[in-house]
Structure 1
Amino acid sequence: MHDKDPRPPPNSAYHAGAEFLIQGDYPLKLHKSYTDQVALLKSRGLIILDESQAAKVLETVNYYRLSGYLHEFKKDGEDCYIDGLSFEKVLALYHFDAKLTRVLMYALEDVEESLKTRFSYELSSSYPLEPLIYLDGKVYRNQSEFLRFKAMFDKSKKDNSQLPFVKHHIENYNGDLPVWVAVEIMTMGNIHKLYNNLKGCHQKAIAKAYNTGSVQMKSWIENLTYTRNHLAHYMRIYDYSFGRTPALCAKHPQMTQTGRIFDQIMAIGYMFSSQEEWKDYVVPEIKKLINEYSEYIDLEDIGFVEGWENLLLSI
């Protein structure tokens, strides 16, 4: 096994003790040991009572991810943190996000599955003798978008060719997947694009199942596709502005537009398949987390408005 070459790459500038490597026109930060990472946090004003324990945390929680929770606590115009901020609080925010992500991903998986089911049922029931109707341009508005989907789907089928149900259809049905099979290898993003391109009658039928209109349905699917991708990559939720909100709906006047995760949770609730499970499991799990981390979190930073629990239970 060869030792790593300690020399800097060509066309770069470096000197001993430097924090940056000048690579072309851009300075790149250099490696820091866990101990050095702790020291850097302390130098910026973060209170760390147990440095060895903090270093242990940084062995498993990437410094870059953890530091994302520090941005809101920086003093204006300074590269240091507000007085009294502790490592304990920052770590608590990280753990709160991780646990909330698990609850929301569970709920979003339900939304994705029910949406795929309703999409496939709408098309197959409208064309009961055409199980491959999703591959027919007559149900779509824009043919260029449809052709892009077909190319993507062909690639997805090839990439998933070893899945038992795909392999079965390749070996026995010339690779043709009925729509109710095809949706199983589609992503939420695929369904979002397909729904947007469906002709109006099919959009309205699917939206009706969620007691909303097609305009709102487009917005909700788009928002929750973005949210699912955000959570799947374990991106920060706390004090994060999504820069978008699900469209309001006259049939659901409780909806909020805070720009934070609460708006997305409301949309998840409206699309969740079981009201009983929503009220008996999902909302109580969220409440349990809020109570567990009440010492560390500010509800405004996640868009939770006054009476939030009643709002979620009223869905």
Structure 2
Amino acid sequence: MAKRIYHKAPLSFQDQLELLKTRGLTVADEEEAICYLQEISYYRLSAYFLPCQSIKNQFNQGITFKDIINTYSFNRELRLLVFDCIERVEVAIRTQFIYKMAIHYNDSHWQDDQRHFITPFYNRIGKLIDPYNDFQAIISRAKTVRNPEVFIKHYMREYSSPSNPPAWMNFELLTMGDLSHLFRGLRNNSDKKRIADFFDVHHKVFASWLHAITYVRNICAHHARLWNRDLAIEPDRLKKPVGPWIGPRFQNNKRVFYFICVLKYLLLRANPSNSLRQKLQALFTKYPNVPIKYLGIPSNPDGTLMDWINEPLWQ
């Protein structure tokens, strides 16, 4: 297919609103709509137009600008809820990683022993995969920056050896992506298993989940869209759950609802008293007209949504 030349001219906020109206969008308060366009931008909002258009560039009968804003607001609150859950899970993963390795090897500085990590290699796109030296580089930068973290500064002032701080300090320097990279970079599957066992997940599935959590965390951090999104990095399906899980109809791991179920499963191990179910229910109730089916919640034969709340995981 031959490529085209892009020729769309920029439009003023007023012209953007007029374009939406010509496409059948009902606008009750034009001044308010202009304010939203100034604040959010037409292009960002356009991702929420598509499910409201059975015909391209033509809004379905009765769709209002307020419907679009409500869906956008729903996504924002969903993103904040998911981000909060990821934070709690991430802290628990960090804790188990440090604890299991340090206790098993009886070594506060196990991260400085290269034998725990895989041999460096180049992946299929030519990138060097070297978890040990990547971690050492993070530690080195933390020690040499102009204003080191207080705990790094304290260690360097008080101790001459070992040259690096202990693992429980260094792990505070790592992002979720770093944790995922380091977990995959452990040489021994037995080490991975010890960490993943706390969460009742096979270590290979756990590695996949860490990768997916990193990806979704970045979506949340960059204020992007979770609603109506196919995940570019899919969390593996959990084939042998320990304890309550979801039925086969809910296991579309390309969509966000499956990822939320992954978070719930991990939270049941990391924070059993979590209130994710209640918060999710409250969010769905707050926005009754937002089509939550686009999260990946399956439908019954009559078109109604299946009752996710009665799945064993959510009881």
TM range (shorter): 0.7 to 0.9
Q: Which residue of 1 aligns with 2:230?
A: 241
**Structure 1 residues 152 and 44 mapped into 2: Cα distance closer, same or farther (>3 Å)?**
farther
Does residue 270 of the first structure (1) align with residue 270 of the second (2)? no
**Once the two structures are superposed, what CA deviation does each residue of 1:138-164 show, in whole Å capped at 9, x if it has no partner?**
111234522234334433555584322
Mapping 1:224-263, distance limit 5 Å:
224-243=213-232, 244-252=234-242, 253-254=245-246, 256-258=250-252, 259-263=254-258
Seq. identity, %: 25
Mind listing any 5+ residue stretches in structure 2 that lack a counterpart?
Answer: 122-129, 299-305
Q: What is aligned with 2:196?
A: 207
**What SS class does the counterpart of residue 80 from structure 1 fall into?**
coil
Quote the Cα distance in structure 2 between the aligned partners of 1:257 and 1:160: 48
1:81: Cα distance to partner? 2.7
Output the CA distance in 2 between the equivalents of 1:92 and 1:53: 13
Distance of 1:86 and 1:55 partners within structure 2: 14
**Residue 203 of structure 1: CA displacement?**
0.3
2:105 pairs with 1:112: no
| Corresponding pairs, count | 285
After superposition, the Cα gap between the structure-2 partners of 1:254 and 1:160, relative to the gap in structure 1 and judged at 3 Å, is farther
Which whole-Å CA distance do the structure 1 matches of 2:180 and 2:7 have between them? Answer: 38
Separation in 1, partners of 2:266, 2:309: 17
| TM-fit CA distance, 1:33 | 2.9
Q: Which residue is 2:183 aligned to?
A: 195
Residue of structure 2 equivalent to 1:151: 137
The answer to whether the 8 A contact 2:27-2:64 is kept is: yes
> Contact (CA 8 Å) 1:216, 1:249: kept in 2 or not?
no
Secondary structure at the counterpart of residue 200 of structure 2: coil
Output the amino acid matched with 1:190.
Answer: D
Instruction: Note if contact 1:269-1:312 (Cα within 8 Å) is conserved in structure 2.
Output: no
CA distance in 1 between counterparts of 2:237 and 2:111 reads 27
CA contact (8 A) 1:100 1:289 kept: yes
Query: Is contact 1:283–1:312 with CA below 8 Å preserved after alignment?
Result: no
In structure 1, the partner of 2:35 is 56
SS, match of residue 39 in structure 2: coil
State the SS of the aligned residue for 2:97.
helix
Shift of 1:308: 1.3
Cα-Cα RMSD: 2.4
- Runs of 4 or more, structure 1, over 6 Å off, are none
Partner of 2:311: 311
CA drift at 1:93: 0.4
Query: Are 2:286 and 1:300 aligned?
Result: no
Q: Is the 8 A contact 1:123 1:202 kept in 2?
A: yes
Does the Cα contact within 8 Å between 2:143 and 2:153 map onto a contact in 1?
Answer: no
What are the Cα deviations for residues 203-246 of structure 1, in whole angstroms up to 9, with x where unaligned? Answer: 00011101121111111111111111111111111111114233
Partner Cα distance (1:194, 1:28) in 2: 46
